Copies of this chain bind each other. A is one copy, B any other.
């Protein structure tokens, strides 16, 4: 069975491990109440996420040098603060708001599921989040990573090949010994094209109640499930 070769699990984080939308909106709403700012914070969070791919694209295509996601997030935040006519924020307040991405909350199945998986596999991040973001998130929530890898140590952004190939190389493993765990069919498709095994974890509310993408497996991924415990079950952990 080919899954017996797998020695390491690599995790997409935003959406797959943490519920970014609920976490961001919860903090933004509290901030708005404290500062007496009344806007649609769901819209603000969705707008922020909408700027995520374009901000990385300028780096991927070589128009800009590689820089950590915190910097891209902050640029997008400044754009949105202006677009939503929010005024009077200090640099410290903006920095703190920006680091809400360091404080995202895991889906309820993750700490238990990852802890089960850790007994048998090397667990690494394969996220576009930068190292400090992922380390701070893990410290806050008890995510038991063995290695913080992904975009920053590989100087690229998914779906750039160096992220997948570099993660395998850092662990001195072949891609066939690596499995990507993700809630996004596109990410899994790229990982498979580079030789990874694949596990799809459906997260039907990642984008809120009206979500219409990644609602089901769009290929014959090695594992298809709806929780991190489901991945652990499938891998006999």
Residues of B within 8 A of A152 (CB): 170
Interface residues of A in 122-142 (CB under 8 A from B): 122, 130-132, 135, 138-139
Contact A135 B122 (CB under 8 A): yes
Q: How far is the CB of A34 from chain B (nearest CB, A)?
A: 25
Assess the B170–A132 pair: CB atoms within 8 A.
yes
- Any B CB within 8 A of the CB of A97: no
CB of A70 within 8 Å of the partner chain: yes
Check B171–A135 contact: CB distance below 8 A: yes
Contact B153 A135 (CB under 8 A): no
**Which listed residue, B68, B135, B171, touches A147 by the CB 8 Å rule?**
B135
Q: Which of B132, B170, B171, B172 contacts A172 (CB 8 A)?
A: B132
Interface residues of A in 107-164 (CB under 8 A from B): 122, 130-132, 135, 138-139, 146-149, 152-153
B-chain residues with CB within 8 Å of residue A171 when the two chains form the complex: 131-132, 135
Q: Which of B130, B135, B172, B173 contacts A146 (CB 8 A)?
A: B135
What bracket does the count of chain A residues touching chain B fall in?
Answer: 10 to 19
Bound form: Cα–Cα A131–B135 in Å:
16
Q: How far is the CA of A147 from the CA of B149 in the complex (A)?
A: 9
Is there contact, CB below 8 Å, between B132 and A138? no
**A135, A138, A152, A171: most-surrounded residue (chain B CB, <10 A):** A135
Q: Which residues from 170 to 199 on chain A have a C-beta closer than 8 Å to any C-beta of chain B?
A: 170-173
* B122 lies within 8 A of A139 (CB): yes
Closest 9 CB pairs of A and B: A132-B172, A131-B170, A153-B153, A147-B148, A132-B171, A135-B147, A135-B146, A122-B135, A139-B146
